[in-house]
Amino acid sequence: MVGGSITVGSSRLPLWTLIATAIEENWDAVQDGWNVEEYNYTAEELFEFLYNLLDARRGEFARLLLEIANPNRENIHWWTEEALK
C-alpha cells in the first residue's frame, strides 16, 4: 500500500494542514502559521486545487468515493483487490 499526503508544491508541507486554518480563519492566518510564502503558494492555488477536487459537474471525486465505499461495506479492502486498484 502506498501512503502519503498531497503537498504544497515541492515542499513536504501537507495541504491538509492549511485547509482548516483557511476555512476557519483566513489566508493571512495561513501565511502567518504555515509560512506558505516560502513555497510561493497562494490562496488562489489552494482554491484551484479544491475546486478541481470537488467539482460536482465532473463527479469524479464522488465516483471515487462510491467505488471505495462499496467494497468497504462488504469488508473488502479495495487496495488488495486487483479489479479495484
CA pair distance 79, 85, nearest whole angstrom: 6
- The pLDDT of residue 12 is 87
Confidence of residue 77 (pLDDT cuts 50, 70, 90): low
Q: Which amino acid is at 1?
A: M
- Give residue 1's pLDDT: 41
pTM for the model stands at 0.63
At 42, is the pLDDT very low, low, confident or very high (cuts 50, 70, 90)? very high
